[in-house]
Structure 1
Amino acid sequence: MDTADVRERAGDLPREPGVYQFQAGDTTLYVGKAIDLRDRVRSYTDPRSARIRGMVDRADAIDFAVTDTETQALLLEANLIKRLQPRFNVRLTDDKSYPLVQLTDHALPRIEITRDPDEGATAYGPYTNKGHVETVVKALRETYGLRGCSDHKYRNRDRPCLDYEMGICSAPCTGEIDEADYAADVTAAERFFEGETGVLADPIRRSMEAAAENENFERAANLRDKLNSVEAFHGEGEEAVASQSDERSTDVLAATVEGDTARVARLHSERGQLVDRSRHRLDAPEMDAAVDDHEGDGATDAGGDTAVAGDPPDSPATVLSAFLTQYYAERELPETILLAERPADPDVIDWLEAEGVDVRVPGAGREAKLVDLALKNAQRRSGRDDEVAALADRLGIARPDRIEGFDVSHAQGSDVVGSNVRFEDGSPAKADYRRKKLSERNDDYANMRELVRWRASRAVEGRDDRSDPDLLLIDGGEGQLGAAQDALAEVGWDVPVIALAKDEELVITPGGPRNWPDDSEALHLLQRVRDEAHRFAVQYHQTVRDEVSTVLDEVPGVGPETRKRLLRRFGSVENVREASTEDLTDVDGVGAKTAETLQARL
């Protein structure tokens, strides 16, 4: 695009907050946010750096989305960067995006929480507190009976599902409610998300008051908590849901840049004591070799987008801006954040402070020493980093910063489960571990094929919120590796895959087995991933076998079907154990006597 094209496109944009995208065909080159979309995009007629001039020259279109507030623009920008991975943005690898709520584009819409809305859906958000979002969506379903099932489950039903029995769906699938009444309920939900809190708060308040009058105080208390979350959703009643913890939580962050990779070190303390530390890798925006990325005057435009116009894209200040919004997408914000330097984007600070976070750049004292420690952690090239590089050299592949391990566990074909663990920069990323129940069969190859096909399908269809790994590691030998390769080929997921056989510790590659020395750093890394996948699978198998097959099955009056209903309703045996008599008897097949027996036995 030339200057005239940008100016003409900018003239068509609204003077409202939102997010804009420079695109080349179907590829998004850059995502930015703005307080005023028209002014912000117009500033690209005079880019302040050669890098940005190159980006504008490549672009052939500018897309945009209007948001209600500057904060929503900030969060939507973080979501789009994570999902689209635009080459001219700083990108945090392997992290979550902020949740949205969508009403799908069906004649009878489905409501659900998502990070990647369906085409044609009406989406609301993004939101910073996933817990509040889940509470609100559940409350909407309980109040208005909106369906949450997939299209597969919705089609061709001849009777309502368990959601109808639980009172969270009005079962439009079987005509229990007509289309006009269902549409009215959908409209009520839309009114709530558009800011009319009373649409949901009022019926909850009435139910709470009725429960209190009937001396059902436990239900009244639950409804009170739900009401607090609903009222806080649009900025009302935050005091009612604010944390009352006396423990002061602090995150200390520092960033460093090496070539095209940046690292952020995070230290976490509670009441002055360090309790956790982590390091995170970010990918820098694409740069042309002949481009001087430090060109520019560092000014901030009206949209506050210093990541383009001011600080160079490889500066620690810009890295911190990207990290703060993308890292805290699905995490509880600490009470205090200490930084080695102020982020390049002032809107990030405004957002954090609006969320009640105390943000400081300490100059001296104990806090400054903590920041120095974080900076040393960010600069450190650890032995595990060297292990990753050694593995890349051994295999002849690009550096596998993200490795996923797979294993299957079962007892002679029963209670079959699979594990999917993830390592980043040689360290476990436990938040990204996944597990799955598999078909009941005593066939290790078929079980591994099903497990890898499940992971690959989720990735290809965009249903997995993790970024693609650089390498897959299968616990097993040539047979398991072949099964995994079959699954990858079937789905069309192009990721390198190898296996590690236990007995002789042979590395099985598509080109044949490799016997690496016992003291090989690369082998040690693979062994840690393999052993962790095995541990996680065995742990889950033990849980399934002991809790599901033993505890519930031994309760008189609980057969296989009732057991399934209990687990669908409560999610786990632990939740069944904690359920009240009233909640238990809500499940089809559980009477008062069985509920009492469950509570006594569990």
Structure 2
Amino acid sequence: MDAAAVRSRAADLPAEPGVYQFRSGETTLYVGKAVDLRDRVRSYSDPRSDRIRGMVERADAIEFAVTDTETQALLLEANLIKRLQPRYNVRLKDDKSYPLVAFTDHEVPRIEVTRDPDAGAVAYGPFTNKGRVETVVKAIRDEYRLRGCSDHKYAGRERPCLDYEMGICSAPCTDEIDPASYAEDVTAARRFFEGETGVLADPLRRRMEAAAENAEFERAANLRDRLAAVEAFHGEGGEAVSARSDDRTVDVLAAAVEGDVARVARLHSERGQLVDRSRHRLNAAAADGLDGTGTDHGGAPDVIDGDDYANTPAAVLSAFLTQYYAERPFPDAMLLAERPDDSRVVDWLEGEGVAVRVPGAGREAKLVELALKNARKRDGRDDPTGALGERLGIGRPERVEGFDVSHAGGTAVVGSNVCFVDGSAETSDYRRKKLSERNDDYANMRELVRWRAERAVDGRDDRPDPDLLLIDGGEGQLAAARDALAETGWDISVVALAKAEELVVTPNGPQRWPDDAPELHLLQRVRDEAHRFAVQYHQTVRDEVKTVLDDVPGIGPETRKRLLRRFGSVENVRAASTADLTDVDGIGSTTAERIRGRL
């Protein structure tokens, strides 16, 4: 749009509060808010920066929505930015590379450490120390015996598993504990993650002291180490964040900007104790023609005098606060490293009953400094994909494809091929394949990768070539995949990730990366998804495939499924004793003898 078109469109707008969008076709380039839509949009006829001028030139339409108040415009702008992700706005992008602890949305919840919790799950975190998180979850399971199995295994269980025998699960799957008692244990475990360290630390301390009294010194030492991890779990800064008795919940926020990367750190306190911390990355607004920095927050024109405006922490805080709290509960108080550049943001927060303060000294200032330290922390979490490329010595692997094979003793053999683009799952590009029936993991992987490679080389795969292949397995699986690539002439970088020790296996040998390395987290997400997708398909194929069991009188489809789920394959059914067979629901001694006679 040129200046005349902008002025003409502005003349049609009302002189009321609202939100406006600059659009190019179906794409929203920029969303802004205004006290007076007409005056605000008219100001774009003479942009005061090259970045804004480039945005206006790309636009071919301006849309608007009137609101009753400035506050409504503020919230509507935040919601539209989050939904439309316009490239000329600062956009919140949560950091998902840190682990969380989740309680699943199930009538009998399981506890898990995850980076991508299921919909409906109650999640706590993110936490920065993965090892400490895992230690605490083990202590939780040891104390409250919460299940850690998948919903699939839970639903198909006919007798308690090994976790029950080890004393780390109360086996709700087989009614060894009633639902009400299990729910009480879940509530107690959640209280720990909500800040009540004592619900786990106190019983651990009692067990440690009892072990020491009984001269069980090794056990006492293990419990001591676990207790230390539990007591350190909620991190530094746990002192009361405010002397005010009415500040029941407090959020401490600070922003840092480095080039085109903006980060906001948030510490959350309840009842005077720090219970959560998180870091968030904001995608900076695009510069003219580039993914640069700078944004226009839709304020009065005389505030915006160039691209540097968007590079200030105060501007980043304005963008973050409106987008983050537009759909989350407000704390009683906010401690900020500096006041947001848009005074209406503070007015909105205070109108919602939030006490906004910028402390200069004392306990509150100490916590603000801690938040600033978190915000300034710079590492690969800002770009795990780039960090992965640097670690492997290749270009930035935007597109990573993962491969895994699943079977039951050489039957129902299937392979999975999942795809991640810039760190996120691209489910529309997932593929799966039935493989030859054989109990040879290396040959199966070679066949799977060869299938993908041949389709790519022949132009029969409608997907782009990946930048990196990730094999679920160790050196043997990697060698098989490299053989397939060499045979087909498909020149793609490939590595493997071994589950046992989380070693990254490269053509130059295995490497151990730091547990908290974001590039390792990315590979783990791809590997775990490939494994999940392969196992899911294997279970479907296994339940559908016709077996010799179908010819046994008295064995119907459901009984056949129970047998295969219990023993894994026909070969294992053949090796089972009569007592083992009668252990399966629906099979009596007569049917068990028929099975043994037939097999």
Q: Structure 2 length as normaliser, TM-score? A: 0.47
TM-score (structure 1 length as normaliser): 0.47
Higher gyration radius (CA): 2
